[in-house]
Amino acid sequence: MLVRAVQSYLSLRRAAGFSLTKVGFHLKCFAAYSDAKGQRYVNSQTAIEWARQARSVYARARRLGNVARFARFMQAEDQHHEIPPAVFGSERQPRVPPYILSDKQIGQIVQLAALSGQRSLRRQTYSTLFALLSCTGLRVSEAIRLRYRDVTPDGLVIRATKFQKSRVVPLHETAQAGLDRYLQQRRPYAPFDDHVFISLRCKPLLLVDVDFAFRKVVAKMGLPQGGGRRRPTPHSLRHAFAVRALLACPDSREQITQHMLMLATFLGHSSAAYTYWYLEAVPELMRNIADRCEAHVVGGAS
């Protein structure tokens, strides 16, 4: 039955380095759904019926896409398996344009974080964390997983990231000095835990902790808080870093290529395409591209 076939498929792909947590859950649900109907092979109509149970059209498309890839794998050995058509459209949901914080706003966020809440390590924790995110472009999840051994003379060692790759992120000497100051205060606070950033509970920070602290700060600044509009999130600090790096990109084609590849590696992107997304997502960068294209065309025409 399909349940055993799904298990074999997932085992093979996980051996190749894919985690497939959500994909595995969905495929097992689909296999159970098909088995309950007595079907030994992937059936397109059944797959569409099962995928339609998801609430949003993008969730339906992702579910059906997972089944289609599984079916394509199975069909290589048995033509009885059907590959369902993409009746729900593209699996990729359009990315929301990022909220780009200015340098002044980032400075205010760090300063307000240093004054928020009780007079405790919490102030230093969040002001240091937000400053670190803004000057390194780390994901929040990467920053809160940092441990003492990851702070090295060469920079921060980011282990087993979003795409199961590790990298070293260099630190400017001012960032290194700020992190060292924080660690001097933090080490005695929870001596039996080696996470760099900890909560008042003496435990590693959670994503919800960081989001709550960030919301409190941006609320004091009067920045958008939702309601259908773009709003700043802790991830906006990473976006701001990426945009600053792109604005500093040199002009020559060879230097641009090197700069983009370096930035993609620095940010931990699995593909440079994710880095190029910022070019179309940020109006200022689009204006720069348009201006340079116009100058190139006019120069070529003359």
The one catalytic residue among 62, 81, 139, 145: 139
36-70 confidence digits (pLDDT tens): 999 999 999 999 999 999 989 999 999 999 999 99
Phi, psi of 166, rounded to the nearest 5 degrees: -110, 155
Residue 33 a catalytic site member: no
- From CA 215, how far away is CA 232, in angstroms rounded? 8
Backbone angles phi, psi at 160, to 5 degrees: 45, 65
Contacts of 252 (CB under 8 A, 6+ apart): none
In angstroms, rounded to a whole number, what is the distance separating the alpha carbons of residues 92 and 245? 26
- 248: closest CA among 162, 137, 167, 142? 137
Contacts (Cβ under 8 Å, ≥6 apart) of 93: 58
Active site residue 99: no
63 catalytically annotated: no
Q: Which of 62, 81, 195, 238 is catalytic?
A: 238
Per annotation, catalytic residue among 235, 244, 274, 276: 235
Q: Kindly state the tokens that stand for 185.
A: 């205060």
Is 229 among the residues known to form the active site? no
The confidence score (pLDDT) of residue 223 equals 87
pLDDT at 227: 56
Please state, in angstroms and rounded to a whole number, the distance separating the CA atoms of residues 81 and 98. 41
Q: List, in sequence order, every residue forming a beta bridge with 52; answer none if it has no partner.
A: none
What pLDDT, on the 0 to 100 scale, is given for residue 250? 65
pLDDT at position 273: 66
> Has 126 been annotated as catalytic?
no
Would you call 238 a catalytic residue per the annotation? yes
Strand partners, 151: 156
pLDDT recorded at residue 112: 95
Measured distance CA(38)–CA(191) in Å, rounded: 57
Tokens matching residue 300: 């070529």
Q: Phi-psi region for residue 143, left (φ > 0), alpha (ψ -120 to 50) or beta? A: alpha
DSSP code of 195?
B
Q: Which helix (H) or strand (E) holds 151?
A: strand 151-152
Q: Is 78 helix (H, G, I), strand (E, B) or coil?
A: coil
Q: Give the number of other CB atoms < 10 A from CB of residue 116.
A: 15
**Predicted local confidence at residue 83, as pLDDT:** 96
Q: How many residues appear in the chain?
A: 302
Whole-angstrom distance, CA of residue 160 vs CA of residue 142: 9
pLDDT in tens, the chain (302 residues): 799 999 999 999 988 878 888 999 999 999 999 999 999 999 999 999 999 999 899 999 999 999 999 999 999 999 999 999 999 988 877 777 778 899 999 999 999 999 987 778 899 999 999 999 999 989 999 999 999 999 999 999 998 765 567 888 999 999 999 999 999 999 998 888 999 999 888 889 999 999 999 999 999 999 877 655 678 999 899 888 888 887 777 665 566 666 667 777 777 776 666 666 666 666 666 676 667 666 666 765 43
- List, for residues 132-171, the tens digit of each pLDDT value: 999 998 999 999 999 999 999 999 999 876 556 788 899 9
Kindly name the residue from 162, 172, 187, 203 that is annotated as catalytic: 162
